[in-house]
Structure 1
Amino acid sequence: MNKSHLVLSASVGIIGGIAVWLSGGALSAVYSLWVGFIAWALFFANGGDNDAAKNTILSGVYGAVLAGLFFALSGSVNIAGAMNGPVWIAITVFVLMMGTQIEMFGNAPTAVCGYAATAGYTIHGSLPDLVTVMQLSNPVIYVSISIIIGTIFGMISGKVAAALD
């Protein structure tokens, strides 16, 4: 058995349990557990270090903002009749991908996950009208905070594992 893998598994398991507990309590108004777990995984997929944290947060939030832009525009600017939604998806995803050429938003898979998490949360929560209001229930804000918190949980679990290894 690989000791490094064992301590990382224990760290992620314990801190994951804490994340679940906090998501139903102290953080329930600002933290989506499933979005946080996605960000946590992306943090490790992006390298598991300080640069990975920065990339995960910036690219993930960038994706969330572009998804919010989709809902705001498709709900208020009809440019294609019955095809309005698909056309706005095409435009905002094109902008999303082009924007990943900018270094601070340069992690395309993470940006796409931020977009998808925001779209999923917005659609399944029937919240598209909230993307233009400045409150914690705004899906862009809620998902962005969840990405930040999930990334922090990833950082903590990595640092605890490194300290125990």
Structure 2
Amino acid sequence: MKKPEAYTLSIGVLAVADTWLTGTLLPVPVWVTFIAWASFFVLGGGRAGFVKSVASNLTGLVIASLTLLCIATTSGSAFAVAVLVGIGSAAMVQASKLKLLDVLPAIVWGFASTVGTNVATGKAITTAGIGNPALVAAAALVTGAAFGFVSEVVGEALAFRREHRLG
């Protein structure tokens, strides 16, 4: 099977599994798993892409969580929120100076996924327990990276390789 078809099959089948899993057994936002899955491929795939993707996405998650915690201590005015998001955004840029985190969009995806999960769940960042939106987003980000890794392994295994013979 040619590589594009192999990846089509691998990703298509695993997308079904991911969507079913997040809709039944693992209550995390499927859209966050898909963001992390894409992040895995954007960061080059393989073990290195997995590590870099998870590290970058979770760095964005930590910065978003700190930003949300700071917002929770304010009056919630639009200006205060804007200033704190600006500080969080600047922190993401500074974090991207590190070699492991040098793809800024991957950090931003973790930040946005965390804020989105916070809004989608309607739960405050200060929520205790496994329902905490940062924990939910973290589980989704790692799950998505894992699906990326597995889809790559399966896609490569399904890809047909022709041997070129001399003679």
SS of equivalent residue, structure 1 residue 101: coil
Give the Cα separation in 2 of the matches to 1:158 and 1:103. 24
Match of 1:105 in 2: 101
Structure 1: 5+ residue runs without aligned partners? Answer: none
Structure 2: 5+ residue runs without aligned partners? Answer: 160-167
Deviates more, 1:16-25 or 1:146-155: 16-25
Pairing partner for 1:75 from 53, 72, 76: 72
Deviates more, 1:85-94 or 1:134-143: 134-143
Are 2:160 and 1:160 aligned?
no
Aligned residues: 159
Cα distance per residue 1:77-128 (max 9 Å; x no partner): 46x965110110111111111111122332211000111111122123322x
Match of 2:4 in 1: 5
User: Which amino acid is the alignment partner of residue 75 of structure 1?
Assistant: A
Match of 1:26 in 2: 25
Cα distance per residue 1:115-156 (max 9 Å; x no partner): 1111122123322x2x23442211111111111000101100
RMSD: 1.8
Q: Summarize the Cα distance change of 1:50–1:82 in structure 2 as closer, same or farther, 3 Å threshold.
A: closer
Give the Cα separation in 1 of the matches to 2:22 and 2:88. 30
Note if contact 2:29-2:117 (Cα within 8 Å) is conserved in structure 1.
no
User: Which amino acid is the alignment partner of residue 38 of structure 2?
Assistant: A
SS of equivalent residue, structure 1 residue 132: coil
Are 2:150 and 1:151 aligned?
no
Give the Cα separation in 1 of the matches to 2:11 and 2:58. 23
Are 2:130 and 1:136 aligned?
yes
Pairing partner for 2:49 from 48, 52, 55: 52
User: Which amino acid is the alignment partner of residue 6 of structure 2?
Assistant: V
Give the Cα separation in 1 of the matches to 2:120 and 2:136. 14
Give the Cα separation in 2 of the matches to 1:27 and 1:160. 22
- Percent of residue pairs identical: 26
Larger Rg: 2
